Copies of this chain bind each other. A is one copy, B any other.
Amino acid sequence: MSTGSAGPAAAPRPRDQADVRRHNAAAVMAALGAGPRSRAEIAAVTGLTRATVGSIVDELRSGGLLTEQGARVPRGVGRPGIDVALDPSGGAGVGVEINVDGLSAVLVDLTGNVRHRASRPGDQRDRRAADVLRAAARLVDEAIGEAERLGLVARGVGVAVPGLVDLDAQVLRVAPNLGWREIAVPERMTRAGAGAWPAVTLDNEANLAALGELWSGGAGSRDSFVLVNGDVGVGAGVVLDGRLHRGSRGFSGELGHLPVAPEGPECRCGARGCLEQVAGLDWILRTAGLEDLVRSGVDPMSALVAELAAGDAGANAGVAAAGAALGVGISALVNLFDVDTVVLGGVYATLFPWLEQPVRAVVDRRVLSARWAPITVRASTLGRDAAVVGAARSALRDILLDPLGGAAA
């Protein structure tokens, strides 16, 4: 299949030895992402020589990023190999999610395990941004303290927000559902923090949820998929051939404002009938008669799930209608991007058993290619935590991509 290249690019530029070694060290870290391996297996997976693998493993072990494990049962002929693994105490990332209906934070170690989790449900629209950022900073302080108790070094903090993020400036340009504009979240959170923090980076929640899904191994590393993250707002993170598609300015995946009901209610974005007005959490809770729960500071999802499971007619009809509207949005995504997999994250992951059928019915009707190319719709392997776990893991990317620099730090 032609790739439609405009023509060959210039020849690859020569690399110096340090570049090559950095690249190879990152390849060794990546090879261990799915679990422990012997040096021979690492060599086979990366295409590096055994000598190179041995030397890099030694350097990363002395930097505290890798550890050795006892021999597994021997495979095939030859003596059993000693396995090498990512060192769980090699470092940890803090993830924090600022969402319309609550705040949450996790601490994730180098192997991807969640070691600490905290959440503060409650409607953030009633609070001043300064108060919300202070509360989020307290969650980060807690997670860093927890890292210390666990003998882990917090290497970075990732912050997920439901809005347009200017990545270069590290500024939240607009989060319509929070009513926030032009807020330098990392700078303000760092100032509000109690202790010394590692670097803080801000990103869009749907993008981080998609990265979380990609890194968790829920998708193949070269796969294409769209993660649709549902909360009060609805966003999408687009992964094409194993890479997040951020777009020209980093603003891709704004699915929530797709028109699905032109005569529908006015949206905070200024337009009418946007998807999130008829498929977002506010709408679902309203149709289920649970809208007061959000403002009361209780996480409404367990109450909603209980009503759905008990067969409550209003709740079931509301989620089915949201699923149908979501199906229209997903159909547009698939028709435009031609991805074969759509992953539901955020509250949509929790509601997946009730959303699946209504979404499928619309997708089968509206996706032109559905007859020739089946589409998988499934819940995120990280469930509702995809964004906050993605944020924590993104804070570990520097060390995974440049482990020699990271080990020296």
Query: What is the interface of chain A, defined by CB distance below 8 A to chain B?
Result: 1-8, 10-12, 23-24, 26-27, 29-30, 33, 45-48, 164, 166-168, 173-174, 176, 207, 211, 214-215, 221-222, 224, 236, 238-240, 242-255, 257-263, 269-271, 328, 331-333, 335-340, 365-366, 368-369, 371-373, 394, 397, 400-401
Give the complex CA separation of A24 and B27 in angstroms.
29
| Partner pick for A7 among B29, B236, B373, CB 8 A cutoff | B29
Chain A to chain B contacts (Cβ below 8 Å), 25 pairs: A1-B167, A1-B250, A3-B243, A3-B246, A4-B211, A6-B214, A8-B23, A10-B27, A11-B23, A174-B371, A224-B247, A240-B245, A248-B373, A250-B338, A252-B337, A253-B336, A254-B335, A255-B335, A257-B331, A259-B328, A263-B263, A271-B365, A332-B332, A336-B337, A337-B337
> Which residues of B lie under 8 Å from residue A336 when comparing CB positions?
236, 238, 252-255, 258, 332-333, 336-337
> Which residues of B lie under 8 Å from residue A245 when comparing CB positions?
240, 337
Give the complex CA separation of A214 and B46 in angstroms.
36
> Which residues of B lie under 8 Å from residue A368 when comparing CB positions?
164, 174, 176, 251, 254, 257, 269
> Which residues of B lie under 8 Å from residue A338 when comparing CB positions?
246-254
> Which residues of B lie under 8 Å from residue A371 when comparing CB positions?
173-174
Known: A4-B207, A30-B7, A173-B369. A258 touches B335 (CB 8 A): yes
